[in-house]
Amino acid sequence: MTMRSGILLLCFAALAGSLKAQISAPDTLKTAKGNLVIQPVEHASLVLSIGGTVIYADPAGKTSHFKGLPAPDIILITDIHGDHFDSAAIGSLKTSNTRLIVPQAVADKLPASYKPQVTVLKNFGVTTQNGITINAIPMYNLPETPDSKHPKGRGNGYIVTAGGTRIYISGDTQGIPEMRSLRNINVAFVCMNLPYTMDVAEAADAVLAFKPRIVYPYHYRGAKGLSDVNAFKGKVNAGNKNIEVRLRNWYPQP
């Protein structure tokens, strides 16, 4: 373990203690690149740390929920909607060394001063940062219609690969063929909220198709409240008991 990795682990441990009643405690997985620390934050926001690199996905909303976390080396943004793309939150969290990985639609909305730090990925684009490979994959609604909330090609889901571990972040999507055809995913974050993405049954069916080793249902607050993540867990485990479904608190109190 590098000195920076050790410091990051201490930061996550300290945060877990100080905010125990608010956000979920971090999870840790062993990889060939050292420990992967997974920190659920809120709704679509999460933080990953591996090999001394800190990755924020869709930091948005209350920045107090990020208090005590190490600063991001990489920020991934999936789409233009406010629960994924929050320019004020990004501005308060990023440093001069942070790299922003975004789709073109997000890049078009970023302040001009951010542009030197931006890498734009189209669907199926790839970049390598700090020895970590980041693949952009489609995220969109079905059926594809002109008035879709999430048209194909505008936003990105991401696959982050480090230390032989593949992490899938779905963003706003339905159980599209590109998700169902994924293979060798170690950790998946899968959305389920109507009317914006998919319901519990569709999400479970998609997960059973691509068979991640571990899946976190996240992004499950919809127009009529929270989706039933326990029902999701039941459907997944009824179809494949080898998939570990991790239920965490993605909606901490202020």
The pLDDT assigned to 146 comes to 86
Contact 156, 137 (CB under 8 A): yes
The 10 Å Cβ neighbour count of residue 64 is: 11
Q: Which fold has domain 3-245?
A: Metallo-beta-lactamase; Chain A (3.60.15)
CA dist list (Å): 29 to 107, 186, 214: 32, 10, 11
| For residues 146-161, average pLDDT | 96
Contact 125, 119 (CB under 8 A): no
| For residues 192-217, average pLDDT | 97
Q: For residues 116, 120, 126 and 128, what is the CA-based torsion angle, rounded to 10 degrees? A: 20
d(CA 175, CA 139): 9
Indicate the range of 20-24, 49-53, 172-176, 183-187 predicted with least confidence.
20-24
Contact 210, 184 (CB under 8 A): no
The pLDDT assigned to 208 comes to 98
The pLDDT assigned to 22 comes to 78
39 alpha-carbon distance from chain centroid: 10
Question: Measured over all CA atoms, what is the biggest interatomic distance in the chain, rounded to whole angstroms?
Answer: 51
10 pLDDT exceeds 60?
no
146-150, 224-228, 249-253: which is most confident: 224-228
Q: What is the pTM of this model?
A: 0.92
16 pLDDT exceeds 60?
no
20 pLDDT exceeds 50?
no
Contact 76, 158 (CB under 8 A): yes
pLDDT digits (tens, 9 = 90+) for 80-89: 999 999 999 9
Mean pLDDT of the chain: 92
The pLDDT assigned to 225 comes to 96
DSSP state, residue 178: H
| CA quadruple 38, 117, 119, 114: dihedral sign | positive
The 10 Å Cβ neighbour count of residue 35 is: 19
71 pLDDT exceeds 80?
yes
